[in-house]
Amino acid sequence: MTSFSPQTQAAIDFVADLFRQSKHAVALTGAGLSTSSGIPDFRSTGTGLWSRDEPMEVASLSTFRTAPELFFKWFRPLASQIYNASPNPAHLSLAKLEGAGRVHSIITQNIDMLHQKAGSQTVIEMHGTMQTLTCTQCYHKVEAALHLDLFVATGEIPRCPKCGNVLKPDVILFGEQLPQAAWFKAQREARQCDLMLVIGSSLEVLPVAGLPMQALDRGAHLIIVNNAQTYLNVRADVAILEDAAVIIPAIVEKVLNG
């Protein structure tokens, strides 16, 4: 069992009490949740993807349309990391919390499918998914596994089996609108919840970063577990600046087993 400082243990106990009192809790997760699974986040100094690359040059919709080879060159190592990743203890604990009826839904900024691999059932993917690809010309949609496996292995850009044009992963690039259905669901969850648990998100990317404010404006409790400060730490009931893969299992254990 992990040993925590008295301050951290008190925070874990308090969060567990809030969960026991909650009738409609939701989780909002970001890239920091998956770093323990070997997937880099975007903004950590020195290790984040955007500390090495300019996002508008490699991961924008305009780049994909005009020079898809630049996107796929950047995307290939990330796709490999995602496909080889396994859920970490935080993903598994969240799935357990959902299975026990203590979390109503998980709103995620991640595209790594680790929530689903961990067993979570109600996952709202705000930035799209790696599960499918869509043709940029005829809009034929295909399952990603076969095409991306070949791409990761050889670097060959995936092409539509119907018309031969480039297939785009169904992830949201810079300059692309969020999936409308997912955004409506996420807003509904934020407005109806009485507790929001933010994990591993810097809360810097709009509009998703505004969801906790929607929850707060309707009287919900806010808990933040992230390794760096966010703009809403001052509004949170509890903010724990430690490793989510350690903190979340401790919270869930306390919620379910006391």
pLDDT tens for 178-207 read: 999 999 999 999 999 999 999 999 999 889
Look up the CATH number of the domain holding residue 149: 3.30.1600.10
Can you give the CATH number for the domain in which 205 is found? 3.40.50.1220
pLDDT of residue 58: 75
- 151 and 110, same domain (yes or no): no
**CB neighbour list of residue 14: distance below 8 Å, 6 or more residues apart:** 237, 238
Q: Kindly report the average pLDDT of the chain as a whole number.
A: 92
122 and 199 fall within a common domain: yes
The parent domain of residue 105 ranges over 1-39+87-127+178-258
Q: Are residues 136 and 250 in the same domain?
A: no
The answer on pLDDT for 50 being more than 60 is no
Confidence (pTM): 0.91
Per-residue pLDDT, 258: 81
The C-alpha angle 133, 107, 213, rounded to 5 degrees, equals 130
Of 171, 193, 227, which closes a domain?
171
Q: What is the pLDDT of residues 135-180, one digit of tens each?
A: 999 999 999 888 888 898 999 999 999 999 999 999 999 889 999 9
The verdict on 5 and 114 lying in the same domain is: yes
Same domain, 112 and 132: no
Give residue 180's identity as a one-letter amino acid code. Q
> In this model, does residue 55 exceed pLDDT 70?
no
Question: Last residue of a domain, which of 144, 171, 198?
Answer: 171
Task: Judge if 100 and 32 occupy the same domain.
Answer: yes
Strand pairing category for 238-240 and 221-225: parallel
- Confidence tier at 236 by pLDDT (50, 70, 90): very high
**pLDDT over threshold 90, residue 59:** no
Position 145 scores a pLDDT of 83
Please state the three-class secondary structure of the chain as a single string: CCCCCHHHHHHHHHHHHHHHHCCCEEEEECHHHCHHHCCCCCCCCCCCHHHCCCHHHHCEHHHHHHCHHHHHHHHHHHHHHHHHCCCCHHHHHHHHHHHCCCCCEEEECCCCCHHHHHCCCCEEECCEEEEEEEECCCCCEEEHHHHHHHHHHHCCCCECCCCCCEEEEEECCECCCCCHHHHHHHHHHHHHCCEEEEECCCCCCCCHHHHHHHHHHCCCEEEEECCCCCCCHHHCCEEECCCHHHHHHHHHHHHHHC
Pair (137, 243) in one structural domain = no
Task: Tell me the average pLDDT across 215-232.
Answer: 96
Pair 146, 227 in one domain:
no
Side-chain-facing half-sphere of 50: CA atoms under 13 Å: 10
Tell me, yes or no, whether 63 and 91 share the same domain.
no
Q: State pLDDT tens for residues 87-98.
A: 999 999 999 999
CA separation for the pair 247, 93 (Å, rounded): 10
The pLDDT assigned to 148 comes to 86
Whether 244 contacts 225, CB under 8 Å: yes
Q: Averaged over 108-130, what is the pLDDT?
A: 95
Higher pLDDT, 52 or 239: 239
Q: How many domains does the chain have?
A: 2
123 shares its domain with 149: no
Q: What pLDDT score does 1 carry?
A: 61
27 and 46 in a single domain? The answer is: no
Q: Given a cut of 80, is residue 119 above it in pLDDT?
A: yes
Residue 70 is predicted with a pLDDT of 92
Concerning whether 127 is annotated as a catalytic residue, the answer is yes
Based on the fold, state whether residues 76 and 16 are members of the same structural domain.
Answer: no
**pLDDT confidence bin for 44, thresholds 50/70/90:** very low
Name the active-site residue from 91, 104, 115, 127: 127
> Percentage of the chain surpassing pLDDT 90?
79
- Residue that terminates a domain, selected from 171, 196, 228: 171
- 195-199 vs 25-29, strand pairing mode: parallel
Is residue 53 over pLDDT 80? no
pLDDT at 36: 93
